[in-house]
Chain A
Amino acid sequence: MSHPENASEFLKDQAQAKWHDETLWFVRDKRDRISKTIPEWEDLRNLASQIKDNVLANLGPYLEQFEENAKKNGVQIHWAKDGEEHNRIVLDILKRHDCQAIVKSKSILTEECHLNPFLEKNGIDVVDTDLGERIVQLLHQPPSHIVLPAIHLKKGEISELFHEKLHTEKGNEDPAYLTQAARLHLREKFLGAKVALTGVNFGIAETGEFVVCTNEGNADMGVHLADVHVACMGIEKILPRRKDLGIFLRLLARSATGQPVTNYNSHFRSPAPGRELHIILVDNGRTAQLAREKFKNSLKCIRCGACMNTCPIYRRSGGFSYGSTVPGPIGSILSPGLDMKKHSTLPFASTLCGSCSDVCPVKINIHEQLYEWRQEITKAHGELGKGLSMWIAAGIFKSPLAYKISGSLMRKALKTLPDSLIYHPMNAWGKSRDLPEAPKESFQQWYQKNRS
């Protein structure tokens, strides 16, 4: 399914679509308001962008420095070229510890690697512990948003799900009640897991430590009870210095949810006595993206989700309409790099309004990259029909005479063609919109008559 098909499907339930739009607008509005309480907000964005530029320019040396320091701290480092290798490394660690059940906190990288289905196929019970992620996991759905995984669901649906799976009271939709039920359900899982898996928000080259941010405390509940902590980290998550965290932690939560900071910002430097700490450094298309001059800046992303909340398309079409692990504007510039054919409609799922670029805390020029991906996609997959008609149009633009003729033909046609043709279902413009009334003369004709 293409994005337009998925979007029109989503829009069929108008009330739900409106609610989705307004809920995310509320988050964006919170972000707008809190960002305006920080006078140096735009300086912070500039600094974050410059730090990430520096990271991308020196990614190799920083990774080596990070590895060296982490090893000194007693951390075991693994490298994975792709999702498959990443998944195998995780499974090996689990096997070595004879572990059948793991708890996992939010990690978009593991979604990208499709870790859960892989582990489940190998007989491992995987429990996502972020409340939103647990909800979608119980529904056998992927997250529809990278920060708010269950934002597409209404509390009634969650109440029904919890009634079925967690035996909560039928019809009790109180979020506090449902959250408490999940707390009890997941507490058992935390207590039973030998291995806990987390993502990584930031890895610090100069210290070898990494930082994980959550509001619920689920990452910490998992890793501090388990014997083994496995942290899955995209290679672009590096920051050079510990003090750079000051910039990024000031930006992250404010951009993501409009909070001043996430509740728990845990800095892991070395394993607790008697425990194991592993970091898996994953490429999975990142070095390929780094080599694409026009698109490498997409690797600056800190996964705050602000571009999704602000995007007028995302808000009205939902995360699933994108059909990619990372939905929304940032996903639409990351995903074509992974599979251009599969994601060829995503860069067109935008009006190029530019709101995503202005909201981005690391100043990724998202809408400009959407434009650039369009140029790449038409080169690679230009379907004949569209390509051909565009080519003809190009010919028209080149020739003033031809343009004039086709223009007056069009004006004439508008006056003479029956409405049924203009508003034919095939005519996407006319389905829900009138065409402008045709004037009796063009501006050129007026100018010739009156001014020359």
Chain B
Amino acid sequence: MISDSPKIGLFIPCYVDQFYPQVGVASLELLEKLGCKVSYPMGQTCCGQPLANSGYERDTAGATRHFIELFKDFDYVVAPSGSCVLHVKEHVPAIPGLENEQAKLHHKVFELTEFITDVLKVEKIEGKFPHRVGFHSSCHGQRGLRLSSSSELNQNPFNKAKKLLENLEGLEWVELSRTDECCGFGGTFSVTEEALSVRMGKDRLEDHAQHQTEILTGGDMSCIMHLQGIATRNKQPLKFLHIAEILNQAIS
């Protein structure tokens, strides 16, 4: 736990704000339960990731400047999304006049689970969640932020989300056939390559179904929105929760 109670800014991705407010609430409550002083600076906008990944990084200067100005005075910035965190760290244009703030901010932005394991140094979370949980590793979290080991590399296996979930009483962790294959969301890829995107999503869902996943969770609602969209359309009886929602429910 951090001793001198640093100021933590909650960075809520735009689609979470608009479509999944409960994930924002869960993230906020979870951090508070873990003893953090968290505030949510008003006036947050999209970080610009859809534009940058579509080849228009140069047009995200406005969004980037806005982000830096909103968050520069926080000690840490935490977001329930590996993908948006990767974007604001790696894929933003340099903002003239804010170079120092930008450089400092780079080291202060964390995805929620890595903030809990690496900054708060939480070794395990006590709580109860008696369900069979399948975890979807978002690629930007996994291979971008290295939140878990990747199956391609010869390294000791680790998974920051699993570390937080595995001690919850009653939780059964689902081992998948393909532990870290992409779900096919990929931002604008989901519409520009619609057929592939949906095929990839179906394949991921099949893997979860074959291993009797009851609740599919992950660190990125964008992947989950895509998977849930397919599952709902096909009336697959699968529940979807962000990892913040599971941890927040489990602790209470």
Which A residues are within 8 Å of any B CB, using their own CB? 3-4, 7-8, 11, 17, 21, 25, 32, 35-36, 38-39, 41-42, 310, 312-313, 316-317, 348-355, 357-359, 371, 374-379, 382, 386-387, 390-391, 393-394, 396-400, 403, 407, 410-411, 428-429, 431-436, 438-439, 441-448, 451-452
**Contact A358 to B143, CB < 8 A, known contacts A312-B182, A350-B186, A446-B21:** yes
* A393/B193 in contact, CB under 8 A: no
A-B contact count (CB 8 A): 213
* B194/A8 in contact, CB under 8 A: yes
* A351/B139 in contact, CB under 8 A: yes
**Contact A11 to B196, CB < 8 A, known contacts A348-B189, A352-B53:** yes
**Contact A353 to B195, CB < 8 A, known contacts A378-B54, A403-B46:** no
Which residues of A have CB within 8 Å of B186? Answer: 350-353
- Bound Cα distance A407, B15 (Å): 9
**Contact A354 to B190, CB < 8 A, known contacts A313-B196, A375-B58:** no
Is B45 positioned at the interface, with any CB of A under 8 Å from its CB? yes
- Bound Cα distance A289, B119 (Å): 42
**Contact A316 to B62, CB < 8 A, known contacts A351-B186, A352-B186:** no
Offer 14 A-B interface pairs, CB within 8 angstroms, sorted by A: A4-B193, A32-B152, A42-B154, A313-B193, A354-B142, A355-B152, A357-B143, A374-B53, A375-B56, A394-B51, A396-B45, A428-B192, A443-B21, A444-B44
**Which of A348, A411, A428, A444 is the one whose CB lies under 8 Å from B194?**
A428
Q: Could you tell me how many residues of chain B have their Cβ less than 8 Å away from some Cβ of chain A?
A: 76
Is B48 positioned at the interface, with any CB of A under 8 Å from its CB? yes
Which residues of B have CB within 8 Å of A358? Answer: 143, 150, 152-153
**Which of B23, B62, B181 is the one whose CB lies under 8 Å from A312?**
B181
Is B42 positioned at the interface, with any CB of A under 8 Å from its CB? yes
* A359/B152 in contact, CB under 8 A: yes
* B42/A432 in contact, CB under 8 A: no
- Bound Cα distance A438, B19 (Å): 6
Is B242 positioned at the interface, with any CB of A under 8 Å from its CB? no
Which residues of A have CB within 8 Å of B201? Answer: 433
Which residues of B have CB within 8 Å of A25? Answer: 178
Minimum CB–CB distance from A232 to chain B (whole Å) comes to 31
**Contact A36 to B18, CB < 8 A, known contacts A350-B189, A358-B143, A400-B44:** no
Which residues of A have CB within 8 Å of B115? Answer: none
Is B249 positioned at the interface, with any CB of A under 8 Å from its CB? no
**Which of A312, A350, A436 is the one whose CB lies under 8 Å from B19?**
A436
- Bound Cα distance A163, B21 (Å): 63
The listed residue with most B CB atoms (<10 A of its CB), out of A378, A411, A429, A447, is A447
**Contact A316 to B199, CB < 8 A, known contacts A355-B150, A410-B18:** yes
* A436/B228 in contact, CB under 8 A: yes
Beyond A391-B59, A399-B45, 13 additional pairs, beta carbon < 8 A: A4-B194, A42-B154, A348-B188, A352-B140, A390-B54, A394-B63, A396-B46, A397-B47, A397-B51, A443-B24, A444-B40, A446-B21, A448-B42
